[in-house]
Amino acid sequence: KAIYPELFVQFGPGKCFLPKYYSDHSEFIENFEVREDDLWLMSFIKAGTTWTKEMSWLIGNDLDYEGAKENTYVRFPYFEFDATWEVASVSDKLKKEEDLTPNSMQIVQNKESPRFIQTHLPWTLLPKQIRNGEKKPKMIYVARNPKDVCVSFYHHRVLIEGYLGSLDDHVEEFINDVVLYAPYWPHVKAFWERRNEPNVLFLTYEELKQDLSGVIDRTAQFLGRPVSVNEKEKLLAHLSFESMKANPYVNHDEVTDLLTKIHGVPKQSNFIRKGKVGSWKEELSQGKPSVKLKSSVCPLKSAVMISLQKL
Ligand code: A3P
């Protein structure tokens, strides 16, 4: 059963790999009205977005743990998320669940300030006002070792998209830039080059793992809301892997349970899954992928071929 959307586009100067539906929104995003007091959280998919979101939302909202009892998608919307992406990527069944998948860009546009906005879009596809420096909102970028991103992404695809390919298939697609938001390196590099700008905070997943306390301090300073020693103790506990995994407002259990049911497969992992640095060593095979891509097991690959032929 082909679950992945049928057609993709490689969009913009960086040829970012996106569902075809993105074209319907690109102009809206390009001309999106940015506010100086927005906080934008940018990342490649699976780089530690949810973790960084929770940390920065709490620091930016005066450690309001009551307020954090609202789904992270509502508090900190996923900017370019659109119902049609998900509907097409899952199945007709989800079409009936329209409430689950609103057009996030409209919601962000109408949100009161200060807005907390999350995006996986690369620098080249961000709203024009950010790229040309007309507006300078605070921006946090979180990066992660691409091998861990790649493995985490594979489990994400199995869980969220009902991906039918093997890990080797996925790796091949990842290194050939035919996975969502690819290519990876220019995505990170664009923010790495801007890491010293005063409105940019560049973090890594590995730093969060190694020294969350230090990262909290840097984020607190960046957001202008110092965190005391006592406050930090509670925040560290809240952001621990175990606590995040058990927190229904960040772990997306409702959505992943529903999707698993739709895919008709046993749930093999959770959104907040392993939470380790270097776990790629346990899963990636040595050398070149041994399995040749077959379009029968890998609907994405055939979809890509069709879309590229049509461009
Ligand atoms: P793994 O799949 O390697 O476990 P994103 O939010 O960008 O989709 O990233 C998800 C990754 O961040 C997953 O990685 C997830 O387990 C990890 N993660 C989320 N919260 C975490 C936490 N509190 N501590 C460590 N890792 C966390």
Q: What's the total number of domains in the chain? A: 1
**Is 55 a member of any domain?**
yes
Give 23's pLDDT tier (boundaries 50, 70, 90).
confident
- Residues in contact with ligand 1 by the CB-under-6-Å rule are 43, 46-51, 148, 152, 155, 239, 241, 244, 272-275, 279
Domain around 259: 8-310
Cα gap 15→67, rounded to integer Å = 38
The structure's pTM equals 0.88
Question: Is there a domain that residue 1 lies in?
Answer: no
Residue 2 lies in a domain: no
Q: How many angstroms separate the alpha carbon of residue 305 from the centre of ligand 1?
A: 31
Residue 273 lies in a domain: yes
How does the average pLDDT of the chain come out, rounded? Answer: 86
175 in a domain, yes or no? yes
For 80-139, the pLDDT digits (tens) are 987 655 544 554 544 444 444 467 898 899 999 999 999 999 999 999 999 999 999 999
Does residue 111 fall inside a structural domain?
yes
Domain of residue 280, CATH code? 3.40.50.300
* Residue 156 forms part of a structural domain: yes
Active-site residue among 120, 170, 187, 252? 120
Would you say residue 177 lies in a domain?
A: yes
What ipTM does the predicted assembly reach? 0.99
The protein residue whose alpha carbon is closest to atom 24 in ligand 1 is: 241
How does residue 7 score in pLDDT terms, banded at 50, 70 and 90?
Answer: low
